[in-house]
Structure 1
Amino acid sequence: MKLDQLRKSLVEPKHPDLYLNQSRNSDTRLKRSLGRLDLTLLGVGGVIGVGVFVLTGIAASKDAGPAVTLSFLLGGVIATLAAFIYAEFASHVPVTGSAYAYVSMAFGEFPAFLTGWALILTYAVGSVAVAIGWSGYVKSLFLGLDIPYLPEKLTRNPLDGGTVNLPAGLVLILILGLLMIGTRKSSSFNNLMVGVKIGIILLFLYLGSRHIQPVNWHPFFLHGGWGVLAGAMTIFFSYVGFDAVTTAAEEAHEPARDVPFGIIASLGISTFLYMAVSLVLTGMVPSSALNNPAPVAHALLDVGVGFGKTLVTVGALVGLTSVLLVLLFAQSRILVMMARDGLMPRIMYRVNPRFRTPVFTLAILMVFVSLPAMLFPIGALARLTSAGTLLSFILVALALLRFRKLHPPKPGAFRCPWVPWLPLISIGLDLLLIGSVPKTTLLLLLGWLGVGILFYVLGKKGLFPAPSLGEDEPET
């Protein structure tokens, strides 16, 4: 009997109706409050941020040179291929959980758990790294305006000679608190932030385009094709945020149409803006001069646009704040779905009856992301976010190939084009990027998955019972 149960965990797919029924239960049902524009801006909010204000300079100066524009194009293509695959799943089975739920419906519980476990690492490390960057920009803004700021020991973690990075922890707590009071309110806040940062990016493009010197684009391929590939791996973390659109499928008004639109539109807008910023940036100053924490602001200073530094710093803060909002939103929804399946403590799948949000999950996240952000220099682990995401992309692409055989596409739902060739090409490009990751990063990822297996075993011992759904309630 035990061997039979193990076989089911490893290879028996879960039926989509199971997740659809869970999404309608009164204890676990999330509120449908997001439209097509909300979903598109949710994706843009998660993608546009750290790539523009931090990673563009790192990839240009250390990896690709002016060809970093092609690194963003390659990253956008790889993310878009994955997006078509995600869009079919989200359209057919509009539930929260994203890659975790999709793999579960194709391969069963254990592979799905490993997918969700990898995404937990991706979102947690990503949120901590972005929060630390946010803290640095706040400090830069205050000092640039000659406004008294916190003592140095309260803005640095102990390993960097301080006591605690207080701003990094506080911004995570505040955003998680906002997510507690409702998806509609947090979505409106995200829409406002996205509008502000796109406006500032367009202002930078206007100001920067007037100071382009074509000589800075030569040589364009500073380190050849491998430099472009290395740059793509460096900046790929920027594209992680589109996955948040699929985690919001259960909260969309018309998920079959709106979620695919939101995924693809947000990636198209984000890729265009990334390429435009990187092209203008490397045309303004030599790529070797971009190796600093605020490349866009410093480039404006270098060409004599002093007031632009303050504007870009404000834009960076807005951009990084919206990225944090989207990353934490997505992580909480994946944890909710895993808890529904009995793979996380059962309190994590319950929603507040007033706000219809998973307040207990968000409260747990407050502890597990704010403390590391205040105490550790997690920025060095940022490549883990890319590696974990690429692993989930590969598993979801494989899942679509099997899911198509188990459940033919529904009439009117979105269908991924060119199956099986598009998923296979997506897998090949994902493996190409993973192959450029340092061995240390891969070992850390494997170590995290090993910890996850132990956690899974505890869950199977009955420590995390799945919810008893009872009778379904109509959706409101």
Structure 2
Amino acid sequence: MYMSLWKTMTRREDPSVYQDKDGHLKRTLTTKDFIGLGVGTIVSTSIFTLPGEIAAVHAGPAVALSFLLAAVVAGLVAFAYAEMSAAMPFAGSAYSWINVVFGEFFGWVAGWALLAEYIIAVAFVGSGFSGNFRPLLASWGLKLPAALSNPMGTNGGIVDLCSALVILFVAALVARGVSGAAKVENIMVALKVLAILTFVFVAATAVKASNLTPFIPEYKMTPNGAFGGWQGIYAGVSGIFLSYIGFDSIAANSAEAKNPGKTMPRGILGSLAIAVVLFVAVSLVMVGAVHYTHLNTSEPVGMVLRMAGHPVIAAVVQAIAVIGMFTALLGMTLAGSRLIYSFGRDGLLPKFLGKLDKHENPTNSLVTLTIVTVVIGAFFPFAFLAQLVSAGTLIAFMFVSLGIYGLRKREGKDIPVPDFKMPFYPVMPALAFVASLVVFWGLGVDAKLYALAWFVLGLLIYLFYGKNHSYLNDK
């Protein structure tokens, strides 16, 4: 019995089957589109808030080092993603790759971990969009009642109407086709990058050397954990890593890429490189313009600009920050709907989720994702689940890093030799795995417990539904 279950769990999908099934998706996305999707997802709300919070709570002026170290970890994994997506440009990214390399159950675990990221991130950003958009409405004289402003049971709320509406609007945009959504994303990302650069150049005029000294404050323990020293920098890495994980959302759309062998590596690595530069620049200017002890606020970018004597620019940048949240919603909705489609495509979730509409779009999976995220984001307070996003994604990152070893054995056989390969093999995949594990270890206890609970739920779904309805049963 146990041997039979193990054989079922480790059965591998033929990559040519995925190639055939995903061949109906339209290949319309270019390198520019993927860089736009990547930057839009990675450089989201967090660039306007996280540098100040991490500087005040953990790292001081050395917050830039936390961002750099987190980028190194993300970069190592991004090389693995680049080779995987170039060799196997399938919908579902890590789920499909691990299914081919290690087997069905391990692919399901990796995909289920990523699903937590997409569902919670869409709902979380929808809530964040609402929290920033409602004050803008209020400044124009349009104030929503508490019942329509907050999730059920929170401050007299029944439904967060703005969160629900923006998620529905993004879903409608994605439903019209990935090409049109990518064009909107590119325009909004350009605006957001312009706003970030404006902040950097304007706030740089207020930088004082005294605010950057000492660059690495002395280590001490606080109620929020480690502060100062390399311990504080490490604590900052775990808190910051959430900012960089968006590049995996690019890979989920690789089945819709033109010339994926070249497009995917350029999109993944290019968007991450741009994000690193922007995060480090914002961090250095922010802690240089205002002492880090004053930066633990919900809108440090606006505060820095106002203290530098630029209130109008502060208002404009904060308004564009709302657009930044919209771009993250677009990227995560695209990726999440493609992942759910791939589950349905393989029968591990109900098969209607893997169907395409008459325009060759996975509308059923998109509608399902939208309903779930609207319910979570509009009706339930869920901030405590945000840590599950980092935990789930790091689990998938570890699988993909180790998956390079299995992939190399099959390249040139049943898997084509890709145009891009992860450098410094076999050392770099191991470094990527270890680095992801170290960041995972630095997460809070709650994050690990939520990840365990999510894993148990996924295990039950696989054992009682997925393995019995998998298309591999027909072979």
Please indicate, yes or no, whether the TM-score normalized by the shorter chain is above 0.5: yes
Of 390-399 and 211-220, more deviation after overlay is shown by 211-220
Aligned partner (choices 146, 149, 153) of residue 147 of structure 2: 153
3-state secondary structure, aligned to 1:309: helix
Q: Does 1:21 pair with 2:26?
A: no
1:464 deviation in Å? Answer: 6.5
The one-letter code sitting in structure 1 at the alignment partner of 2:65 is: L
Amino acid at match of 1:23: D
Secondary structure at the counterpart of residue 311 of structure 1: helix
**C-alpha separation in 2, matches of 1:90 and 1:124:** 22
Quote the offset at 1:326 in angstroms: 0.5
- Structure 1 counterpart SS, 2:246: helix
**2:420 maps to 1:414:** yes
Residue 383 of structure 2 corresponds to: 379
Match of 2:75 in 1: 80
Letter in 1 for 2:438: L
Out of 335, 343, 362, which is 1:338 matched to?
343
CA deviations 1:69-116 (Å, max 9, x no partner) are 111111111111111101111111111111111111111000110111
Tell whether the 8 Å contact from 1:340 to 1:466 is kept in structure 2 after alignment. Answer: no
Residue in structure 2 matched with residue 437 of structure 1 by the alignment: 443
Matched, 1:315 2:315: no
Distance 1:133 1:60 in 2: 21
Change (3 A) 1:309 1:340: same
The aligned amino acid for 2:20 is N
Please, which of 95, 99, 105 is the counterpart of residue 100 of structure 2?
105
Q: Deviations over 1:230-274 (max 9, x none)?
A: 111112111121112211211111101111111100000011001
1:239 maps to 2:244: yes
Please state if 1:282 is matched with 2:287. Answer: yes
Q: CA deviation at 1:188?
A: 0.5
Amino acid at match of 1:242: F
> Which whole-Å deviations, capped at 9, do the CAs of 1:302-349 have from their partners, x for residues lacking one?
222111221122221111100011011111111111111111111111
Cα distance, 1:263–1:246 mapped onto 2, change above 3 Å: same
Superposition pairs for residues 331-410 of structure 1, below 5 Å? 331-354=336-359, 356-408=360-412, 410=416
**Matching residue of 1:304:** 309
Deviation of 1:57 after TM superposition, in Å, equals 2.1
Are positions 1:175 and 2:170 aligned together? Answer: yes
Give the Cα–Cα distance (whole angstroms) in 1 for the partners of residues 435 and 382 of structure 2. 27
Equivalent AA in structure 1 for residue 18 of structure 2: Y
In structure 2, stretches of 5+ residues that fail to align are 218-227
For these two proteins, the number of residue pairs brought into alignment is: 462
Question: Are residues 234 and 361 of structure 1, via their aligned partners in 2, closer, same or farther at CA, if it must alter by over 3 Å?
Answer: same
Structure 1: runs of 5 or more not aligned:
470-476
Q: Aligned equivalents of 2:461 and 2:89: distance in 1?
A: 27
Distance 1:467 1:146 in 2: 59
What corresponds to 1:127 in structure 2?
Answer: 122
Task: Report the Cα distance in structure 1 between the residues aligned to 2:116 and 2:297, rounded to whole angstroms.
Answer: 26
SS of alignment partner, residue 244 of structure 2? helix
Cα–Cα, structure 1 residues 216 and 350, in superposed 2: closer, same or farther, change >3 Å?
Answer: same
Aligned to 1:426: 432
From the superposition, tell whether residues 175 and 466 of structure 1 become closer, same or farther in structure 2 (CA, over 3 Å): farther
Q: Secondary structure at the match of 2:163?
A: helix
User: 1:6 deviation in Å?
Assistant: 2.2
State whether residues 342 and 467 of structure 1, in contact with CA within 8 Å, keep that contact through their aligned partners in structure 2: no
Say which SS state the counterpart of residue 183 (structure 2) adopts. Answer: helix
- State the alpha-carbon separation in 1 of the partners of residues 20 and 2 from structure 2: 28
Structure 1 residues 230, 118: closer, same or farther in 2, change over 3 A?
Answer: same
Normalising to structure 2: TM-score of the pair? 0.93
Range with bigger deviation, 46-55 or 107-116: 46-55
Structure 1: which amino acid aligns with 2:386?
A
Q: In the aligned structure 1, how far is the partner of 2:473 from the partner of 2:38?
A: 30
Report the Cα distance in structure 1 between the residues aligned to 2:295 and 2:240, rounded to whole angstroms.
14
Candidates 128, 131, 143, aligned match of 1:136? 131
Match for residue 84 of structure 2? 89
d(CA) in 1 for partners of 2:60, 2:250: 32
2:299 and 2:133 map into 1 onto residues whose CA distance is 12
Secondary structure of the 1:160 match is coil
**Paired residue for 2:222?**
none
Cα distance, 1:370–1:296 mapped onto 2, change above 3 Å: same
Cα displacement (A) at 1:411? 4.6
Whether the 8 Å contact between 2:48 and 2:301 is mirrored in structure 1 is yes
Partners of 1:466 and 1:176 in 2: CA distance: 31
Q: Deviations over 1:278-312 (max 9, x none)?
A: 11111111112111211111221222211122112
SS in 2 for 1:371: helix
Opposite residue 291 of structure 1, the aligned amino acid is N
The whole-number CA distance in structure 2 between the counterparts of 1:429 and 1:166 is: 40
Separation in 2, partners of 1:202, 1:366: 33
On the 8 A contact 1:141/1:310 being kept in 2, the answer is: no
1:37-48 matches, within 5 Å, as 37-48=32-43
How far does the alpha carbon of each residue in 1:354-387 deviate from its partner, in whole angstroms, 9 at most, with x for none? 2x21111111112100111112222232221111
C-alpha change, 1:120 and 1:23, in structure 2 (3 Å) is same
Structure 1 residues 364, 69: CA separation in 2 closer, same or farther (over 3 Å shift)?
Answer: same
Identity of aligned residues (%): 33
Mapped contact 2:87–2:417 kept (Cα < 8 A):
no
Partner in structure 1 of residue 209 of structure 2: 214
**Structure 1 residues 461 and 212: alpha-carbon distance in aligned structure 2, compared to 1, 3 A threshold:** closer
Deviation readout 1:26-61 (Å, 9 max, x if unpaired) = xxx211111111111111111111221222222121
Distance 1:147 1:284 in 2: 33
Shift of residue 454, structure 1, vs aligned partner: 0.9
When the two chains are superposed, the root-mean-square deviation of aligned CA atoms in Å is 1.8
Using structure 1 for the length normalisation, give the TM-score: 0.93
Distance in 1, Cα, partners of 2:177 & 2:466: 32
Q: CA deviation at 1:149?
A: 2.0
With 419-428 and 15-24 compared, the bigger mean Cα shift is at 15-24
